Amino acid sequence: MPDTNSPRPAADARGMPPPTAARRPRALLLALLVAAGFAALGWVMFLHGLAAFGLVGPDEPRYAEIGAEMLAAKNFVTPKLLGAPWLQKPVLEYWLVAAGDAVEGVNAAGSRLPNALLGLLLAAALAGFAAALRGWRAAGWTAAIALTSVFLFGFARAATTDMPLAAMMSFSLLCLYLWLRPQITGGGAGSRAWLWPAAAFLGFAVLAKGPVAMVLEGLVLVFMALRCRRWDWLRRVLTPGAVTVFAVVTLPWYIAVSMRTPAFLKVFFWQNNLERFATNRYQHPQPVWFFLPILFLAVFPWSGWSLLPLANAFHRITGRNRGGVRAQPARPADGLLWFLWLWLIAVAGFFSLSQSKLPGYVLPAIPAAILLIAFAAGEDSTPRWPGLISAAFTAAIPVGILLFPWLFTPQSWRPPAQYFLRNPALWMAGLGTAVVLWLLLWRRRFAAYIALTCAILAAAAWSLTGPLSPQVNAIASARPLAAAVWAQCGPPATVRLPILDPRQASAPMAGGSCAGQNLYAFHLPREMTYGLGFYLHRRPLPLTAQARWPRAGLVATDRRRIPALVNAALRHGLDAHIAIEPPLGANWALLRLAAPPAATPPQTPLRQSPSRRSPPQKKAKPPAAAPAPPTMHPPAVH
């Protein structure tokens, strides 16, 4: 029961006192302004400029193409990439991409929009969860960190399977804790109003990336039952209603795809789950400690604050507080901190044992890390030292934005580094940002500190999706390369959807200036190959130095491979020249193959019969020999 004699009755645990009648309009106005600020921040970080630059990496264009083909063929069971079944991942991301394409069209914005909305919903759910259990101060910290931490908004703006898994698994674990909480605090049995949504979201998580979601959530529940000595939870969670909800969400697609494509069971469950975990089949080996720095940098620029929950946990374990005095037990004995720590440790520990490691594997642990940071930073006696570390990280952001054009300019075009290092704007941006943030921390103006940090992140995101987006597009996306192919060959360069036969994606072009020719790839990075697959719905045919070469066609290659391509073409009796100048900073080149022009053969004079011999004439000079073809040197590409 709250102390009704306290000058702040019943509100200390909620983070703010209840406003009096006179202060209520001001508090309401302030709440509306804060909500509007977070809404604007979410729009900039998650939704602004979704199509400012093209799809990047190998996964984005691959999953976007599968979703586009699903929508065109109206086949929402078997995922297909350029007409061939693609069984490495479940179907949820492809459904989301198809839904986004139906709204925005088949483009980068349509492919990315569903995950961006999922990221916003996840940030809102975390903030609401924090407000309900720890008050509005913790909710403000949670919203700020969730909307601006690099992992969360970065993966939310990507059309990959990581964000659906992280969002659905987080929704499920939040509901699972709300089901467990009354049993932890002695308030009775958990309500199925939380258990059934937990089962439904877990089903969607299994549709996002497979049975790994069940394993991770099961580990969290087992560890929590062990901590609280409540083994009955493992039985009670499997109620008929929860199991039915999970089965209704999950099983229909798995059964349907297994019946249509029997190879799914082997390709998905064996190769892409068991072998990916137990072997180095996909060549992503990393040391067992790989995810420790990843977790630290995942919440950038709030990485300094991630050390605060660790320090608090150490003080609780040792029984000492920051001043060396015996620490008091945590006031809310609801097991929430234990639940969040077990959530984080289960995800990071499980994937640390895997033989294949990628940074995105620990994305499902980041929501737990965000809540731990927010709860620690939202306490009354918040220390300054984590903020000083994070302020240094934040100060690096404007410096990085100013250096971005120089860092990604080809070396031959890049001015000396001293030119930028002597620029006073660079130093003012970095040192000025750090000094202002440190002063705010020194005066304990945490609200202003959070607002300034969020404003700097929003300005950086606006720059990358605005003025700097053409350079990002040229560096990281295959969209300019696809545009170059289209400029050379016209509409026949694009294969029309739906693709019912994989041979359609590699057939010669049917018309235009490239009629009868094909598109080839010579040591082209796979992210560019998959990018061409999305933007042209075409599979470039692989071309190697030893293969039989076509007499004409377009060849896409890594710009560093131009000399090897030209020399290989000469060995096959072909000319290779730049078809179109790539944009500045691009790492690709597009060359056209053609047979060299044939030399005019010398004409042999006709012999005449002796009876009709013509008068003697001056001896004609022999025709000059055809000049030797010049040695071909690869043109310079900038």
Model pLDDT, residue 75: 94
Segments of the chain scoring below 70 in pLDDT: 1-23, 187-190, 320-333, 409-415, 417-421, 598-638
pTM: 0.87
Cα–Cα nearest to 165, from 238, 241, 92, 67 = 92
85 has which bridge partners? 80
How many CB atoms neighbour CB 96 within 10 A? Answer: 24
Model pLDDT, residue 563: 93
Strands (E) in 497-604, as ranges, are: 519-522, 541-542, 553-558, 575-580, 588-594
Model pLDDT, residue 213: 95
For residue 116, CA distances in Å to 67, 89, 153, 295 come to: 16, 20, 8, 21
497 CB contacts (<8 Å, ≥6 apart)? 68, 69, 72, 73, 106, 537
Give CA–CA dist 184/332, Å, rounded: 11
Cα–Cα nearest to 528, from 483, 569, 593, 463 = 483
Give CA–CA dist 517/493, Å, rounded: 10
Model pLDDT, residue 519: 95
Q: How many CA atoms lie within 13 A of 620 on its CB side?
A: 6
Model pLDDT, residue 6: 39
Residue entry with tokens 């019912």: 500
Cα–Cα nearest to 228, from 340, 335, 372 = 335
For residue 264, CA distances in Å to 67, 89, 94, 312 come to: 18, 10, 16, 47
For residue 609, CA distances in Å to 603, 605, 614, 618 come to: 19, 13, 10, 19
Model pLDDT, residue 411: 65
Residue 122 and residue 170 in contact, taking contact as beta carbons nearer than 8 Å: yes
Degrees, nearest 5: CA angle 196-136-367: 50
DSSP state of 558: E
Strands (E) in 230-384, as ranges, are: none
**Token pair of 284 as six digits:** 């992503």
Give CA–CA dist 380/331, Å, rounded: 13
